[in-house]
Every structure is written in C-alpha cells, then in structure tokens.
Structure 1
Amino acid sequence: MVVDDNPANLKLLIDILSSEGYKVRPANGGDLALLSVAAKAPDLILLDIKMPDIDGYEVCRRLKKEKHSCEIPIIFISALDDVEAKVKSFDLGGVDYISKPFQPKEVLARVKNYLQIKKLQIQSEKINAMLMAEISERKLVEESLFKEKERLKITLLSVGDGVISTDNKGKIEIVNEVAQALLGWSQDEASGKYFGEVVHLISAITRDRCEDPVEKVIHTGKIIGLANHTILIAKDGTERHIADSAAPIKDENGDITGVILVFRDVTEEIRKQEEVIKSKEETAFANAANTAKSQFLANMSHEIRTPMNGFLGMIQIMEMTELTQEQRGYMNIVRTSSDALLKLINDILDYTKIEIGKMKLEKIVFNFSKMVSDVVSLFKSSAIGKGLIMEVSIQKDVPDHFIGDPFRLRQILSNLMGNAVKFTNKGRIDILIRMVEVRSNNEVKLEFAVKDTGIGIPDDKIDDLFKSFSQVDNSNIRKYGGSGLGLAISKNLVELMAGEIWVDSKKDEGSNFCFTCVLESIHVKQDFPEPSVKKMIEGQVKNELKILLAEDDPVSQMVLEQLSGRKGWQVILCENGTEAFDRYRKENFDIVIMDCQMPVLDGYKATRAIRQLERQRETHTPIIAMTAYALQGDREKCIEAGMDDYLTKPINAHEFYAAVERWTKKKI
C-alpha cells in the first residue's frame, strides 16, 4: 500500500512499484489508509508523514495498536530530512525512512529488502508448520526443511545489504559477506556468539551504547528500525553509520524462532549531508560578509567623497580666480596631489566592488575613436614634458561605434598608459589597436597594445604584476609610488569583458602590455555633428538660470554656490528634501540639483514627491542627482526615483557645468 496526499508522488510510487510487478494499493489520505488496511492488510506500507486529515505518525500509531495490522512493516516517506523526524518515525515502529525527493532505485531496493524479510518469515512459518505434520511425513518434512533453510541461507548471503540472522536466544547463525566486511568478523568467528558480543552499536549524538536490537525484537516480537544516527563499531574500532531494521522470524504459532538484522552503510550519505549543511552555512556566512562589505563600501564612498567634494571644489574655484604665477604653481601641486588621492580612493573602491562581486558593466553606445583620443589627451602633455614620443595607431577595419562600457574600457587603457608614462624616461610610447576576430551577433574582439621603451620588468616579477597590492619594487626606498591595485583591477575588468591581459617585457628595454576585450559593434548614422558644449554655452543656453539646490553639507553648498555664481546663475539653497519640496511648490525653477543623502527627507523621496506634483501640474523640471555614493546600481536607483541625470562627488566643475547646460538646453 502507498499512502500520500500528493497525486504526483502517489502516481510516481505506483509506477515505480508496478514496473517491478508489485500489486499496489493507493490511498490519498490517512483515513482512507486505515479503512483500506482494516479491509485487507497489505504486506508493506509506504507512508507519507505530512497529510491534511491524519498525519503519518498518527496512522502508524493506530495501526500498531491493532492486532491485524501491528506486524505490517511501515516505511515512512517524507521531505522532513532531519534527525528528529527520523527518530520519531522509528520510535513509532517504522522500519525505514526515505527522504523526498527519492530515487526509484532506492525505493525499489528498500521495498525489496522488507518484502524479502516478509517472505522469509512466511517461509520460516511454513517450515515450522511442516515440522508439526504427521509422523509418516516427517522424513519429507525434514528434507523440505533442509532445502528451505538452505534457500534461506542463500537468500540471506546474496542480499546486497549487511545481514545477520540469529536463533531465538540471540546467537548468531549467519553473517553474509557484506556484514562480514563491515564488522571485521568472519562467519566462523561470529557463529555461535551472542549478537551483542560481535555487534557494538552507539548513538552518533550521545555516544552512548544503544539497546541490543536482537534482544529487543525477541522481547517485543516487533520489527524495529535503526536510524542513520546509529554508529556500528567494527572489530578494529572503525566506526560506520548504519540504518535499517531487525525483524523476528516466527512459526505458525507466532513463537519467535530467530531474528534477522538487515543494515546498510550510510556513512557516505551522512558525510555528504554534513557537507551540504556546511556549504550552506559557509554560503550564508559569505553572503552576510559580502552584504556587510557592500554596505561598508557604500558608507566609505559617502564619507570619503563628501569631504573630497569640498576639497576639490575649492581647488577648482581657486583656479578660476586671479592667482600669481607662484600661487598657480602651488595650486597645480595641490591639484596633482588631490587627483592622485582621488585615483587611489577610486582604485580601492573598485577593487572592493570586484572582490564582493558588485562590479557590473554598462552597455551603452559610444564613439570608440573619441574615447581613445580622450585617454591619449590625458597623458599627452606629461609625455611631451618628459621628451617622449607618443603615437596611436587604430587599424582601419576597427568600427567607430560600439555598445559596451566606455568608462571601464577607458579605465583599463588609462592604467596602462599612465604606467607607461610613469616608467619611461626616454624614447617613445606606442598605442596599437587592432581587430582580431569578428563573431556572430555583431560581436568584435579587439586587441590593445601599449608599448614603451621604459625601465622594463625583471623576469621574476612578471608573474606578480596582476596580483592585488603587488609592485615590482616593494622596498621602503622605491622610486615609483602607487597602490599596486591598478593592474589587478584592469585584469578583473578585462575578464568581465570576456578578454585577457598579458605583458612582454625585458629589464631596461621596455614593456608591451596587451589586452583583449569583446564589444558589440554598431552602425551609427550621423547626418549632422553633435554641437559641442562650448557652442551650446555660447549660442543656445540662457545664462540667467534659477537653480534649486538641495544639499545639507556646508562645504558642498559653498562649492556649488560659487561655481553657479561664476556663471551668473541664481541659487536657492535648501538643507533637506522637505524644504526643497516646499520651495518647489511655491516657485518655478529651471533645474533642481538634488543631493541623495539628506536628513528629514532624502533626495529620492523628495524627487518622487516633486514628480507626483508635476503630474498634477503637467510640468517637468530637470533634476540632477548628486551623491557621494559611487556603487553599481546607484545611477539606476536615481533614475528610478525620477531624476534625469547623475553626478558623483567630488563634483568636477566642467562636468557640473556641462550637465546643467545640457538639461537646461533640452528644456528651452
């Protein structure tokens, strides 16, 4: 009989058992199962635990109380894969426990074992009945008994699990080969000894000696199960987890003539379960650690970039004032130092994002040659200042527009070119870009090479170049600075772009850093050139703008007011989102600069409130987000809140002007 309230499980079990020729009687609930057993007792019951009317535990408890059903072997089947559920199942009289989802072979093997035991019981009863036959037939009975015992012995010895049979006193008669291998006792060594002398069982949980199952079967006359928290100690002290059951052999009068113990080695199964639990715990711990790292990264980004915004902002404002040549020289030094500090901060944040798996690539259309030109222009003056020749060669068949992440591609190229300029004192730097493969779906594989005539790299240091915090010269007196993160970050970014990075170098002869990446090529039709920011400022943007600035940091307020004042723009200052919304309701503004992190009401909620008001008024004012957070997804979060653009702190004056003028132009 198969009892399960799930139609799919019920059908699957029926199909599995029917395929082997077993007659299967289904029951989709506990009540129906009890009625069916009362009508006709089955040879074996496969019983689900969780059922809506009566659960499997209660069904088992009632069956064991009834004389006609108490001897029926019950195998519990459940998705509850924990020790407590299994212990309770065996305590109620279950002979086995199969965890869902189950395997057909496992179900058939378990059923076969217990039906074999049942068969053996029936055979044994027949043998004993034959012994009580007429005296005239005793010889025939004895011959038949001998044959049956031989058949019984052969059956026990051929079972795939470990099998031990005893007489009604608990003395061992048969130990099959599987049991011999697990116990370390041969048939001759074990034969005639009491079960408890050969087999030692302890609890895996408490390490206490378990009750002798053979004695318990002889005393109770019932089938009992051994849970997989039972440990068998072999003759040499080896411990193995076992699970299965012990059953009585009875004659026609119901008297016990012996006991059969069938057990299976589940040590490997237990080990795998423990590994799964450990893996889940480690994964949960890693996820929690990554979440903590991510939050720490976000907080550090905010806490570092906020003062950097004031620092760099005031430098930019100072550079816009009239300075003496000496003062301008000092300001150049301050700017260079601040740029180096900002690069270090960005490298550390990027490395942390990569480490916790938060680094994601954008997919936007960009002008490839312009991107390369912009990177080269950053280092051109430094190269010329050192007397270096710098040339760029882009293969003619390289498309002019791609879909990809231009910011990260620029970051990789900038790292390599920055290193080339830093470590080259004479000669030249060549940047070579070529297409090495055209793939399906418009994908193109490009190869970049940055070749210099600099100091080169010793052979024993090349393998460490792309490792985090690794530098060729780690001594306290090293000539060249740096965090040692640039190439490690570049390597990770290249791999995110489905490429690889490598270097060929010889000490004192120069280096050739190469990397590949995969981008999607795209044809962009441009009938008219896009107007430059300068032309927009000169011809299309009105100069008298009214700006609503929501910012709670005093230094950032000062920087943005100063920058806006130099353009003649009027700034209305609010220190939190609530003030900004109230002011917006009462006045008209050309543009809103909204800090994301503010007290009382943050920038996201303030923006949503403004957009809701605008839907009623059928208006739209550009809102530019401004935040010290710089993590993947922050831009999307701003756009989702209803903001039109996104600036990260520290604010760059040119980027600030360009963003304001771009959106106010769109408004005109």
Structure 2
Amino acid sequence: MNNHQAEATQAEIMVVDDTPTNLQLLSSILIEQGYQVRSMIDGLLALESALCDPPDLILLDIIMPKIDGYDVCKQLKSNQKTEGIPVIFISALDETWDKVKAFAVGGADYITKPFQVEEVLARVENQLTLHKLRTQLIEQNQLLQQEIRDRISAQAALESLNQELETRIQARTVELRDYLEQLRNLESQLREALDREKEVSDLKSRIIFTISHEYRTPLMTILSSVELLEKYRHRLNDSQQVKHFWRIQAAVKHMTTLVNDLLFINQAEFDRLDFKPVVLNLVTFCQELFAPIQSSLGAKHSLVFSSVRDWEPISGDPKILRQIMTNIISNAIKYSPD
C-alpha cells in the first residue's frame, strides 16, 4: 500500500447524487483508491448523516429533488459542527453563474460532468490535503495563542502597573492609526464609486437624448410615407409606392439599429457582453460585412473595400466586431457630404 492509499484509508468521503449510476461510479472510483465512502441518494439524508457523523469531504450534486446541492451546502456551512467540511460540487451545470453560486454558498471546488476520473481524484486529494493543512494550522495557531497568553500572563505578573498601562496605550494608538487609515481608504473608495455613478448617469442621459433625437427622423419618414400611401395610393404608380415602402423599410431598419446599439451599450456598461472569440480572416470578414452595405447605398454615396496586404488571422468575437464596424461605417456614410 503506497502513502496515498495509506492516508486515503483514514479519509471518509460522502458522495451525494440522486442518480444511482453516478453514485455507484463515483463510489467505486474512490473505494479503489482506498477511501472510505458514504453514499447518499438525496440531500436531506446527506444533511442528517453529516450532522450525526461529519465526513472528511463531501462530493455534492446540485440538481436533486427535495433540496438541491446549493441549499445542502449552505446548511452545512451554517452549522458549527460541519462548517469546516470541504464541499466539492460535481454537476452537469457548466455556466459561469452556476459555478459562482457554488462558491458563494461555501463550495471549495467545482467539477463539471461528464468528469474525468483523474480530475476527480486530483481535486479530492487536493482538498483533503488543504483541509488537513488547515486543521493543523488551526491547532498550531491555538497552541501559539495559548503560549502567547501564558507569556503575557507571566510578563504581566512581573511588570508594574505603569508598564502595563503604557503597553495598552501603545496598542490602542496602533489600532486608532489603522482605523483612521481604513476610514481614509473607505472615503477614497466612496468618492470613486460616486464618480463612477455620475459617469454612468451622464452616459445614460446622453444616450437617452441621442436616441430620442435620432428616432424623430425615421418616425417622421414612416409617418409621411404612410400618410401619402393612405391618401394618394390610387394616384401613385407601382414604382412610386415601392419607393415609399423602401423609405419605410429603411426607417424601420434604422430604428432597429438604434435599439441594437442601445442594447449593445447597456450590455457593455454592465459587463454582460457574451465574448466568444474565434479565429477570423479579417479580409473575408470585411468583404462579407461590406457587401450588404454596398448594395443598400444610394446613388449619392459609394463604398469600396480594398486590402493593401495579406493579414494574418486574428482572434475576435465576430458579433461584437461586426457591431462596432457597422456603426463606424454607418456614421461615416451618414455624415459624409452628398
């Protein structure tokens, strides 16, 4: 038996999963490595068992009937008897929010299903080692604190009242100095937060003003074309009617672009942009981007794309890059002289 297996026989792991096949597979993997395994089919049984006899580590599924893994972990961490048990979540949920929530309720690690056996064993061993070191550190710290208390007590018995008073004054002075420094830091952070809030408020005001101003032109275009079609459609030939329909369609597209721009800015402002970079051929990307814009231009403007050299592929999010470049080109066309 190697050192790892010798240590593993001393460690008891609770596995909690409502899927029997997953429960059996994880239990078998851990038993083969010499761990003692306690299998639980639901969260309520796991809580009762852990409170009665705390294990050294818990592998915990998230989606379960009666009570999910998040609530199980939260209740474990709220009880002094079980708060120190490391909990490794193991779930098919792979969204960032799911992992953030797992750590927020007290999880020590997170494994995504389908899992690799090596990863499970490595993370289990790592958390057991950390838990062991943490326990040793707490014990050593308690011994050290006791030793410090004993020395202070012995020293206090030998020192005069004046020396003891001076020590307390010095300690209080340090605390006050640290407290004042903390107040300064908090004041600085508060000012920065207020400045950021003002910037966001100003940006929102400018966006609302710009959007409301930009909406007037396409709305007037739609309104005038609709009124003309309503009143004079029997006098207009097909070409003239199609022209008004095109004006309405162009105005609607412009309004849609404004809404998309507003949503894009809002997502960027609150760091909610879903950034998915891929390898892009910049020339091909630009050609595909320019083609529909070129076809929609009137006789007053022309748009030509050319590449002076071969570009290396780049890594970027095509959706975000298309949004930015479309806005730049649209503004260039919009504000170019006729």
Q: Judging by fraction of residues, say which structure has more helix.
A: 2
TM-score band (shorter)? 0.3 to 0.5
- TM-score normalized by structure 1? 0.21
Q: Judging by fraction of residues, say which structure has more strand.
A: 1
